[in-house]
């Protein structure tokens, strides 16, 4: 397979996958497992190249790449290999009484030709992860990774070309224009990971062909810290969730709502937690080899402007606040005295800024959360059941995580995804497999007992009684 550049014939690449997509419908489990094993082996052999590429793109520390990019994808692959047999099997649909004698089951079949469009923040994980699901489901794939993480995107292109024919998997390198042109094609499924704004564009384009979509989007994921919580643990976990990839994580804690009775203690512990994680030898976080960089100057400037704007409007920087432009270094920064109307509370931060707002009553915190679009994740730290139950009942989010941050991403059996503005559809494990599969309903009438036939016209009195009887069992 060759790597494709900007203005090559995208339609040609798409057409070239038609026959293969048909061939893959045969549902050869062993064939899919062999492909997954080949991918697994390539990743294991080339893990240093992956580390180098993500370092080049985002200054990601090697161990962070191991944890959040490589091991996540390897986990996704081994989980798929282990469970593919079960996933591919038809699932019996139990018969109600009037279907007695029929055979009904759900047979997952590959949707066909799929498109994966991915972002720059976890450029390996969020491109190859969905691709694993597409392979497991038996789809062909065109992949458009982000233009803002060029080293990792190029590496993925070379991985694809060494493992697959272009008829099965093609990586198209390019920008928004390329993505838009790809979206004109009648894919059977589009798996998009990115911002809610672009997600809307993707869904509009998909509507022209009625292509199904999985939209893995972003937003503002809140954290609620209850008065009765383990503050040291909460601070450490929030600081970790925010410092990984410099906060450029879709499920990073975006802002914290903390009970006012513990607000000042929490602010101190949060600052101490950042120090513990990123500055243990007191040489400054900038010198830390455990902290990455902002993707580009446009995002660095966006974050600086957000921080300056908050300060101008009365927020206080209680920790951090410094940066270094040429290195694209931006310190983890805690903002207090934050107001709901500030810009930092009204757009996804996607960086190391962390506004902290005190609340008196849990309902106040719930109202803040419900005043914004439904988040991808909602975190709550508490020793009590009551606040957790209240948040579970009164708010909606892609995930509810209690006493931890971001850890749910790695759970192989949980669906990963948002709700409305934070996403449509789910990823990971079985849920990813299903995203790329059509759950075909198969219904086979019995040649011996056919109760359905007894309901056909003419509607004699006896048949009317029978219909009424059956409707009681429906």
Answer for the pair 264, 235: CB distance below 8 angstroms, yes or no.
no
Phi, psi of 150 (to 5 degrees): -65, -35
Tell me: does residue 198 bind ligand NAD (CB under 6 A).
yes
Quick note: the x/- pattern for ligand NAD over 321-360, rule CB under 6 A, is ---------------------------x-x----------
Tell me: does residue 144 bind ligand NAD (CB under 6 A).
yes
Judge whether 337 counts as a catalytic residue: no
Name which of 221 and 336 has its Cβ closer to ligand NAD. Answer: 221
Stretch that binds ligand NAD, among 210-218, 315-323, 432-440, 457-465 (CB under 6 A): 210-218
User: Cβ of 155: how many Cβ atoms within 10 Å?
Assistant: 23
Tell me: does residue 406 bind ligand NAD (CB under 6 A).
no
Near ligand NAD by CB under 6 A: residue from 216, 226, 254, 263: 216
Q: CA separation (Å) from 282 to 12, 247, 274, 292, 321?
A: 57, 21, 12, 17, 17
Judge whether 250 counts as a catalytic residue: yes
Listing DSSP states for 148-205 in one string gives TSHHHHHHHHHHHHHHS-TTTEEEB---HHHHHHHTTS--SEEEEES-HHHHHHHHHH
Q: Which of residues 364-403 bind ligand NAD (CB under 6 A)?
A: 376
Question: What tokens were used for 117?
Answer: 């469009």
Tell me: does residue 201 bind ligand NAD (CB under 6 A).
yes
Stretch that binds ligand NAD, among 21-29, 173-181, 303-311, 445-453 (CB under 6 A): 173-181
User: If DSSP codes are grouped into helix, strand and coil, which group holds residue 34?
Assistant: helix
DSSP 359: E
Q: CA separation (Å) from 61 to 98, 236, 338, 410, 462?
A: 62, 19, 31, 19, 76
Stretch that binds ligand NAD, among 12-20, 39-47, 141-149, 312-320 (CB under 6 A): 141-149
Question: Minimum distance from CB of 395 to ligand NAD (Å)?
Answer: 18
Question: What tokens were used for 216?
Answer: 């893995």
Tell me: does residue 209 bind ligand NAD (CB under 6 A).
no
Question: Minimum distance from CB of 415 to ligand NAD (Å)?
Answer: 12
Catalytically active residues, by annotation: 216, 250
Report the interface residues with ligand NAD, using CB under 6 A: 117-121, 126, 144, 146-147, 175-176, 179-180, 183, 193-195, 198, 201-202, 216-218, 250, 348, 350, 376, 418, 423
């Amino acid at each position: 397979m060759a790597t494709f550049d900007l203005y090559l014939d995208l339609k040609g690449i798409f057409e070239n996958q038609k026959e293969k997509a048909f061939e893959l419908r045969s549902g050869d489990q062993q064939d899919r497992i062999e492909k997954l094993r080949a991918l697994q082996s390539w990743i294991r052999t080339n893990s240093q190249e992956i580390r180098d590429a993500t370092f080049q793109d985002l200054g990601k520390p090697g161990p962070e790449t191991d944890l959040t990019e490589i091991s996540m994808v390897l986990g996704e692959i081994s989980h798929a290999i282990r469970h593919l047999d079960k996933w591919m099997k038809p699932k019996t649909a139990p018969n109600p009484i009037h279907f007695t004698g029929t055979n009904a089951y759900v047979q997952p079949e590959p949707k066909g030709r799929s498109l994966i469009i991915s972002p720059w923040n976890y450029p390996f994980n969020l491109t190859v992860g969905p691709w694993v699901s597409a392979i497991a489901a038996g789809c062909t794939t065109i992949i458009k990774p982000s233009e803002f993480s060029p080293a990792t995107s190029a590496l993925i292109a070379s991985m694809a070309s060494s493992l697959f024919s272009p008829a099965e998997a093609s990586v198209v390198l390019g920008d928004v224009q390329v993505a838009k042109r790809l979206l004109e094609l009648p894919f059977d499924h589009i798996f998009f990971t990115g911002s809610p704004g672009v997600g809307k564009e993707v869904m509009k384009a998909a509507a022209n062909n009625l292509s199904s979509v999985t939209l893995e989007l972003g937003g503002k994921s809140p954290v609620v810290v209850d008065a009765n919580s383990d503050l040291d643990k909460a601070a450490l976990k929030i600081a970790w969730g925010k410092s990984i990839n410099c906060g450029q994580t879709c499920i990073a804690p975006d802002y914290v709502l903390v009970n006012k009775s513990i607000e000042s203690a929490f602010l101190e512990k949060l600052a101490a937690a950042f120090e513990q994680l990123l500055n243990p030898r007191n040489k400054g976080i900038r010198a830390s080899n455990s902290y990455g960089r902002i993707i580009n100057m446009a995002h660095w400037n966006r974050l600086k402007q957000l921080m300056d704007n908050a300060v101008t409007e009365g927020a206080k920087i209680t920790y951090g606040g410094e940066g270094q432009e040429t290195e694209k270094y931006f310190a983890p920064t805690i903002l207090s005295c934050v107001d709901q109307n500030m810009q930092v509370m009204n757009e996804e931060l996607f960086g190391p800024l962390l506004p902290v707002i005190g609340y008196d009553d849990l309902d106040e915190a719930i109202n803040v959360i419900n005043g914004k679009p439904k988040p991808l994740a909602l975190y709550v730290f508490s020793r009590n059941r009551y606040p957790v139950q209240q948040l579970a009942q009164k708010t909606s989010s892609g995930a509810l995580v209690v006493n931890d941050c971001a850890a749910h991403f790695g759970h192989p059996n949980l669906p990963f995804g948002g709700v409305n503005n934070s996403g449509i559809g789910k990823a990971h494990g079985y849920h990813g497999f299903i995203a790329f599969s059509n759950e075909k309903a198969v219904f086979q009438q019995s040649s011996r007992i056919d109760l359905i036939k007894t309901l056909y016209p003419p509607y004699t009195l006896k048949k009317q009684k029978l219909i009424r009887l059956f409707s009681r069992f429906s």
